[in-house]
Amino acid sequence: MTLLAVTFFVLMILGLPIAFAIGIAGFTFFATGPMPPSIGVQQVASASQSFPLLAVPFFVLAGHMMNRTGITSRLIACSSVLVSWMAGGLAQVCIVLSTLMGGVSGSAVADAAMEARILGPGLIARGYSRGFTAAVIAVSSLITATIPPSLGLILYGFVGNVSIGRLFLAGIVPGLLMMAFLMVTAWLIARRRGYGAEAKAPPSLADVRRAVADAKWALLFPLALLFAIRGGLFTPSEVGAFAVVYAAVVGFLLHRELTWKRLTEALTEAVVDTGMIMLIILFSGMVGYAIIFEQAPQSVAAALTALTEEPVLVVALILVFLFVAGLFVESTVLVLLLTPIFLPIVQPLGVDGVHFGILMMTVVTLGSMTPPVGVAMYTVCSLLDCPVEEYVVESLPFVGAVVALIVVLTLWPGLVLFIPNALM
């Protein structure tokens, strides 16, 4: 087990792509361990034989198609009408847009990159500092980790055998609360620095009605997914196919902005993204088998319970570990590798797997917004030409707001579970 971990981290430090670092580390374990390498190959193959995994390529394709249907511009307009009258108006638009885009793209990095290209230059031109602009865009993209359809929640449900439908429903309240926490933080900073509102007064009811009506197909998308799953019309995998059909209907027939050229571009990008994600998933299946074979969950459980058997404290210790790990390892990898370790530890203590999944996804995805290897952080900073040092300082209040929310959700699981419990 030590050889596997050392090989993985050495290869990652050397700059090898994450998927190949996992794969080589896994094959090293089987080549030098008590089991023949053919077992490792079998685990790679068996990881691909999963019906729930069909949701991944479908939702990835749907997200790329949605971004080419004019939905983004309509969501920006809707967000501007709703919150641009507040202090730090454009920053508030970024946060609300992340919430709305989370129901479309399913990817925090894709959301952050899009907002950095479209809204970032406007914020800087209006006097917002580059660090503040980058921090608002990067950290608010974290909302995508919980708002359905989150790709991370799909992978967590697949690995942990947890209901993806319940996970989708459970992500609604935490996502909205995260939006509220970040908006309050942005408002306080904007008031202190004099970042003004874009609109002179709150919108009238007629303005809100027009903005919502113009963006109705984007706003209805996550609701349609949830109702389809709750109503038993589709499984989570089938609802991914429905998402692709929905995007095509909106793009070709309703907005009439999805051309064949744009569709080809969406397909090409979806193939690249899906290939990368699936490689990580397949090789992680092999490493996951090795982790279970070496009884790592039992060893970690024994170490934690030796410290305390209080469920809240055990969860808190795990979340601290996940946060530190998220600083160095990409969130998808952590979900695939660590869910089989930690979920069997917390469930016997009475912690709901859905509740733990929301906490886990939020914490590990936060690593994408923090140094030293934050993908969303580097993406936004490079697009906005922002020094990482400035970003780190400006992001501290927003990261603090997210940590405060995680504490609240940990102590009051009912905030996460009352919607799935009520509807499912």
pLDDT recorded at residue 301: 65
Mean pLDDT over residues 129-137, rounded?
A: 91
Residue 310 has pLDDT above 90, yes or no: no
The answer to whether residue 6 is domain-embedded is: no
Residue 403 DSSP one-character state = H
The answer to whether residue 43 is domain-embedded is: no
The answer to whether residue 188 is domain-embedded is: yes
pLDDT recorded at residue 397: 94
Q: Does this model's pTM top 0.75?
A: yes
The answer to whether residue 115 is domain-embedded is: yes
| 97-106, 271-280, 294-303, 409-418: segment of lowest average pLDDT | 294-303
Tell me if 67 sits within 8 A of 258, measured CB to CB: no
Tell me if 367 sits within 8 A of 374, measured CB to CB: yes
Tell me if 76 sits within 8 A of 167, measured CB to CB: no
Q: Give pLDDT tens digits for 386-400.
A: 888 899 899 999 999
| Residue range of the domain that includes 222 | 54-423
CA–CA dist 108, 301 (Å, integer): 31
The answer to whether residue 389 is domain-embedded is: yes
- Residues with Cβ within 8 Å of 419's Cβ and at least 6 positions away in sequence, in order, are 169, 170, 172, 173
CA–CA dist 151, 378 (Å, integer): 21
The answer to whether residue 246 is domain-embedded is: yes
CA–CA dist 306, 61 (Å, integer): 46
- Residues with Cβ within 8 Å of 197's Cβ and at least 6 positions away in sequence, in order, are 84, 85, 86, 87, 88, 89
As a whole number of Å, the end-to-end CA separation of the chain is: 40
- Residues with Cβ within 8 Å of 130's Cβ and at least 6 positions away in sequence, in order, are 124, 384, 385, 386, 387, 390
pLDDT recorded at residue 51: 66
Tell me if 12 sits within 8 A of 21, measured CB to CB: yes
The answer to whether residue 21 is domain-embedded is: no
Domain count, the chain: 1
